[in-house]
Amino acid sequence: MRTVRDAGLLRRREGFYYAVFGGLALALGGIIAGMVLLGDSWFQLLMAGALGIVLTQIAFVTHEASHRQIFASGRVNDWVGRILATAVVGISYHWWMHKHTRHHAKPNQKGADPDIEQDTIAFLPEDAAKSRGAFALITRNQGWLFFPLLTLEGINLHARSIASLFERGRVEHRMLELGLIALRLSLSVAVLFWFLPLGMAFAFLGVQLAVFGVYMGASFAPNHKGMPILEADSRLDFLQRQIVTSRNLKGGWWATVLFGGLNHQVEHHLFPNMPRPALSRARGIVREYAQSTGIPYTETGILRSYGIVVQYLNRVGLAARDPFDCPLVNQFRRSALARPRPAGFLLAADVLPDEMCPSCHEQRNIPRLMPETRPTVEGGPPQRWCSAASAAAPMMPALLRSAAGTIGVRTSMSGTNSSCCFETPPPMTKRSGENNRSR
């Protein structure tokens, strides 16, 4: 923190944001002018796509205002963010603040981070296993359906944020936000259907919402999806929690413009009020510190991050279609995991880095215990074994022992990279009176 502050990276950059405001205002003006000039033409759909992009960029600025990144005054930041969110983008600022504050406090932690709560998409295996009917069909294929579903995310954001303003309890500036959102949505829809033919107006609205939803989802999803999931009782400190659960995206200034600074997710979580232009400079400081302390620092390419997200969602979706879910194996697994945590053991989800094979990714998000030390089995590479399998296997017939062994994972780690593969479980110690022969 001292290094970052001494480098002036927390100083406000109001001039930069005034330039951003001006650029976005010009972009909106250009879109309106383009619509007027095009008239009754299907090229209007190009304007719809452009409007979806500009509204997403305005949402990025709203996000920065909510973090006090723009102005020194918190009150000014709040009012700028509230006006932009409600009167321009059309979503509730209160809803976003409440939801996003909880996410920043405990990212990727079960029961605490609203961003991993089940919606249409399941982010946890236990949630995926509860899916039924049509939702189960979606969950089973949610990785491949992720980007198509994002075309509906724009509607979802509007609907959920508006619904939150009707909830009981204290909602700051409830009536103001409802009025501004109603005015924004009604005026935009009325003008659109007055100016364009009926079918073209519906198409314009659909394209704008689809582009907005895909752009928003594609900007926020790579930040944490596919990164370690922390248990509800995780004891990681603030520094480790924010670095281990966040992923940066590679790219220069163009990536910072494209993602509104969200490509520097690690630095943003460590310093939420740091202005966008300073994040790239903070990246070098944070990465060097993380490497010196042995904390996994994850950074990957943009396309690679989308591949990780799709693979992760597909692996989670397997929980909704497991035809070999043996009740006896699960019984022993639950009993093993329910035991008090022995000294020297950590939750695997707290310590495993991101760059792993699909199998290990899947198992990492199942609560299990792993030793801090990695014993060598039969002179081979270091081993890490799920304690649930080790505890359950001696108590089960040999026929079921192989099923428990499928959750044993051998891991060879170097820095923040690792490779892994499924292995058979290590030889079990023969207990007195126990016959280890296969029956």
Please state the pTM of the whole predicted model. Answer: 0.75
| Gap between the Cα atoms of 143 and 375, Å rounded | 35
Please give the residue range of the domain that contains residue 341. 324-422
* CA 301-144-307 angle, 5° bins: 15
Q: Answer whether residue 226 is part of any domain.
A: no
pLDDT at residue 287 is higher than 80: yes
**List of E strands, 219-355:** 247-249, 298-300, 345-347
Tokens for 391?
Answer: 């505890």
* Domains in the chain, number: 2
Task: Please write the tens of the pLDDT for every residue from 404-428.
Answer: 343 333 333 333 333 333 333 334 4
Last residue of some domain: 162, 192, 221? Answer: 221
CA–CA separation, 54 and 213 (whole Å): 12
Last residue of a domain, one of 187, 221, 255: 221
- Single residue among 158, 186, 221 that ends a domain in this structure: 221
Angle at CA of residue 24, ends 18 and 27, nearest 5°: 145
Q: Do the domain assignments include residue 251?
A: no
Question: Sign of dihedral through CA atoms 253, 255, 257, 261?
Answer: negative
What is the C-alpha separation between 122 and 33, in angstroms, rounded?
42
Give me the pLDDT at residue 31, please.
Answer: 97
**Considering the domain boundaries, does residue 66 fall inside one?**
yes
Show Cβ contacts of residue 387 under 8 Å, excluding neighbours closer than 6 positions.
336, 337, 345, 368, 369, 370
Above 50 in pLDDT, residue 65?
A: yes
Is residue 297 domain-resident? no
Same domain, yes or no: 216 and 340: no
More confident residue, 324 or 260: 260
How do residues 33-58 score in pLDDT, each as one tens digit? 999 999 999 999 999 999 999 999 99
Above 70 in pLDDT, residue 303? yes
Identify whether 284 is part of a domain: no
80 shares its domain with 199: yes
Q: Is 277 contained in some domain?
A: no
CB 389 within 8 A of CB 404: yes
Residues 335 and 213 in one domain: no
- Domain match, 23 and 156 both: yes
Share of the chain above pLDDT 90, in %: 66
Q: Assess if residue 179 is contained within a domain.
A: yes
Is residue 292 domain-resident? no
Q: Point out which residues pair with 418 in neighbouring strands.
A: 413
